[in-house]
Amino acid sequence: MLQLKKEVNPHFYNYVFDWQHRFYFVFGGYGSSKSYNTAFKIILKCLEEKRTVLVVREVYDTHRDSTYSLLSEIIDDLGLGPEGAKLCKYSESPMRFKFRNGSKIIFKGMDKPRKLKSINGVTIVWLEECSEIKYSGFKELLGRLRHPTLPLHFILTTNPVGKENWCYKHFFARNGYEVNDEDVYRQRVLVQHDVYFHHSLADDNLFLPQDYIDQLDEMQSYDPDLWRVARQGRFGVNGKVVLPQFQVMPHEWIVGKIAKISKYWYRTGMDFGFEESYNAVVRMVIDDENKDLYIWWEYYKNGMTDAETIKDPTFRELKKDKDFIHADSAEPKAIKFYRDSGYSMVAAEKFPGSRLQDTKKVKRFHNIYCSDQCVHCIAEMKELTYKKDIHTDELIYDEFNIDPHTFSAVWYGLSGYEVADLKKQNYGFNISI
């Protein structure tokens, strides 16, 4: 008989072994180990009995560096994989885990709804980052899955966002549940009807180093809304402003601060436009040590062809200064034209879901300092707000009240650079579950 011996964070022990409920709503702050524990919980269930598990994220490709990576790491650490007991095989293309007893774990994305129609025999669904999944997708899964003998389980893991998000409305504000989120924060674990609520914080993960928690605490000074989510793990009235840390400073102050940065990245991004849109170029400097972003130069014009733009004296500064420009990959012909004209330009990384991921990346900067000479950056980013769904009143986190061309240019300019993401830092603890 297989015996596994692993340390488990005490706050998660009962959750890992509980399978008495239909829904598990697992939420809280960064670094609390909720995803790690959920992955371990699922692996144990697959070893115990034959199950088919469906792991869902809004964008399929994001599984590779998150849920798939996490599950494979735990399988290997437990010694269950090809190099160990050989109780589980897994592949990256397609992403899939197969256990010796017939259990399997498959991965789907809500960005490819057609592939959901081929799902059969699933009895456990894990919706990772469920607040990013659309409510219609969640309801589709509820209606599609059934099994003649085995009970169904839906596990939803997330960091809380605004109270207007469907997750909060469905599990805390839905008629019949009558669950107060404050009760869950206070009790930490609460069972109501068919839902197992589990709330966790970084403090519940005994394997986290203190400097990680210190970084979470620092968020209160530069992004109180993110601090509420990351440190306190609470839903709330989500600030509509996309970049609350955006600050306008005198140009001379910006130049002086940049000159004193010891470790920096110089970046330039470009968004293309012609009639209603604009050619927007933003030049930036990243203070890599302090995680601050400085915006010091912009180009912003429309109604000009590419041939006219390269002759514009202001735009030609980019060629003179030998800027390496990351531009919108949706315009390969334009990129080729600029390259043929002597500009160092490449396509920025772009993939399904990149708008949301790029927005999150920019929001991770502690401070965003913008020169008072960059008037269009100020106009588009200082009071940029999220768009709301007209039917549900939910915020849409990759759409905005305007089409901010300078913000898009910032996205592209930061292509390939990663601001430290506390959620993804790995401190090498012993399957800290």
What is the reported pLDDT for 221?
Answer: 83
* DSSP secondary structure, 197-242, as one string: EEEE-GGG-TTS-HHHHHHHHHHHHH-HHHHIIIII---B---SBS
The angle subtended at Cα 412 by Cα 263 and Cα 243, nearest 5°, is: 75
| Dihedral angle of Cα 25, 202, 109, 164, to the nearest 10 degrees | 60
Structure tokens of 191? 């069972």
Contacts for 297-305: CB closer than 8 Å, 24+ residues apart: 297/371, 297/373, 297/374, 298/373, 298/374, 298/375, 298/376, 298/377, 298/406, 300/376, 300/405, 300/406, 302/273, 302/274, 302/275, 302/276, 302/277, 302/278, 303/274, 303/275, 304/274, 304/279, 305/274
Looking at this protein, which amino acid is placed at residue 305?
T
| pTM confidence score | 0.71
What is the reported pLDDT for 429?
Answer: 41
Question: Does an H or E element contain 253, and which?
Answer: helix 251-259
Length of the chain: 433
Task: Give whole-number Cα distances, 61 to 353, 354, 407, in Å.
Answer: 9, 10, 24
pLDDT in tens, the chain (433 residues): 566 777 789 999 999 999 999 999 999 999 999 999 999 999 999 999 999 999 999 988 889 989 999 999 999 989 898 777 788 998 888 899 999 999 999 999 987 766 666 677 899 999 999 998 988 889 888 887 888 889 999 999 999 988 878 898 889 866 456 788 989 999 999 998 889 999 999 999 998 999 999 999 988 887 787 888 899 999 875 567 899 899 999 999 999 999 999 889 999 999 998 767 789 999 999 999 999 999 999 999 988 999 999 999 999 999 999 999 999 999 999 999 999 999 999 999 988 889 999 999 999 999 999 999 999 999 899 989 888 887 777 788 889 988 999 999 999 999 999 886 666 554 444 444 4
Identify the structural domains of the chain with CATH numbers, from first to last: 10-209 (3.40.50.300), 246-419 (3.30.420.280)
What is the reported pLDDT for 224?
Answer: 82
- Sort 307 into a burial class: Cβ within 10 Å, 0-12 / 13-18 / 19+: exposed
Distance, CA of 159 to CA of 168 (rounded, Å): 11
